Structure 1
Amino acid sequence: MDLLHILKHRHTTKAYDKDRKIPAPVVAQLLEALRYSPSSVNSQPWHFFVADTDEGKARIAKSTSGTFAFNASRVTDASHVIVLSARNTLPPEYLQTLADQEQADGRYVDADARALTHKGRSGFVGLHEQAGDLPAWTQKQTYIAQGFLLLSAALLGVDATPMEGFDAAILSKELELEEKGLSPAVLVALGYHSDADFNAKLPKSRLPEKTIFSHI
């Protein structure tokens, strides 16, 4: 694997081959990439909606009307589309669920370790609650998951399109996100680009190293 080659050749896909689907074993790996994404204090403050049928993608595409119509075909023609949503709150019962899962997965050497971890996580969440920025914080964590998904897709030879160009209110209503305590963060279309994807033919453009790095 040549990581630099992959980084240079992955791109934001502009048009998909709607007849080409991602094999199920590859999809399974992409979903595991999301599940194993890191988050602050292992809060995992997200939920992912996966659309792999025309009906499911059409529901998401409702949010790409009007101003965001340019993204409609990227949703409907892709093999899969994932809605990455963030939790609006992290209540005690959810934090308890995390602790129970960590216990089941063997993360604690003893009861004291569990109590210390739970106290630390609860305290960190409390700081964001007091600051009034918990939803913004959970959105940031969800974008970490997006990064893992995009890189994993490139490593597996799958094209992807991250999209903020959608109507959050429409999508929230369609998926009943508010009732679930969630807010949409970003969409990611996945599949294989078509010949109409002009971006696949363009060279990568990034600022030079000396502009973005300072060695101190």
Structure 2
Amino acid sequence: MNIAEYAKRRHTAKAFDPSRSIPDETIEVLRTVLRHSPSSVNSQPWHFIFANSDESKARIAKATQSGFAYNEAKIRNASHVVVLCARTDMDADHLDAVLNQEQSDGRFATSQGREGQSNSRNHYVNLHRFDQKDLQHWMEKQVYLALGTLLLSAETQGVNACPMEGFDPRVLDAELGLHAQGLTSVVMVALGYSGSEDFNAKLPKSRLPSVSIFTDI
């Protein structure tokens, strides 16, 4: 199927069938997709937490119980829930880990190539840390690149998805001990198969017309 057809077919699932589980091999495909998501200067300022047991999903659902109760059933009934986290700082240890991985993967033909990549990445990190003063926001932007990649990829695997910002990140961060790991929750995605109450699956997709959103110059 053409990738555009997956994009047109994809919908945000509003209810999941709790009796159906995503096969392990499909989850592994989605984990691979997340790991290979694009990020600015290959900074990879993220961490992804997968939950699929009733106990682990219940822990995540705690973050919906104050003002976001409409999302609790989606979390509990989904096959898997992914919490997409951003780092709370782009520290030297992380930058070194990324650079060393690039070295191990053979991205540098010379020491000058390694130095150039390091200097370029540090330039952008420092730009956002000191000049634009939006380092956290910049890192969270990279997480949303991964989110979009995951949503479209799930559809190609026949998996329904529901992205959610409707939760209390303070509650979730505390429940999962994220701050101690240098992380904070940004968005989550419930993954599974639509249930009978998924009204959105029956509705036509609606987007603004091409003439309204594209300009050729």
- The TM tier, using the shorter chain, reads over 0.9
How far apart, CA to CA, are the structure 2 residues paired with 1:3 and 1:137? Answer: 28
**Residues 36-62 of structure 1: per-residue CA shift (max 9 Å, x gap):** 000000000000111011111011000
Tell me what 2:90 maps to: 90
- Counterpart secondary structure, 2:67: helix
**Runs of 4+ with >6 A deviation:** none
| 1:4 CA displacement | 2.5
Structure 2 stretches of 5 or more lacking a match?
Answer: none
Task: Say yes or no: does 1:201 pair with 2:206.
Answer: no
Contact conserved, 2:66 with 2:168, CA < 8 A, in 1?
A: no
| Counterparts of residues 9-158 of structure 1 (less than 5 Å) | 9-130=9-130, 131-158=132-159
| 1:215 CA displacement | 1.1
How far apart, CA to CA, are the structure 1 residues paired with 2:113 and 2:198? Answer: 52
Task: Say yes or no: does 1:161 pair with 2:159.
Answer: no
How far apart, CA to CA, are the structure 2 residues paired with 1:101 and 1:145? Answer: 19
Aligned residues between the structures:
216
How far apart, CA to CA, are the structure 2 residues paired with 1:18 and 1:161? Answer: 14
Task: Say yes or no: does 1:170 pair with 2:171.
Answer: yes
Over the aligned positions, Cα root-mean-square deviation in angstroms equals 0.8
TM-score after normalising by structure 1: 0.98
How far apart, CA to CA, are the structure 1 residues paired with 2:5 and 2:89? Answer: 40
- Counterpart secondary structure, 1:190: strand
How far apart, CA to CA, are the structure 1 residues paired with 2:37 and 2:116? Answer: 23
TM-score after normalising by structure 2: 0.98
How far apart, CA to CA, are the structure 2 residues paired with 1:88 and 1:38? Answer: 19
Structure 1 stretches of 5 or more lacking a match?
Answer: none
How far apart, CA to CA, are the structure 1 residues paired with 2:12 and 2:88? Answer: 28
| 1:214 CA displacement | 1.2
| 1:198 CA displacement | 0.4
**Residues 161-207 of structure 1: per-residue CA shift (max 9 Å, x gap):** 00000011100110111111112110000000011100000000111
**Residues 78-112 of structure 1: per-residue CA shift (max 9 Å, x gap):** 00000000011111121111110001000100111
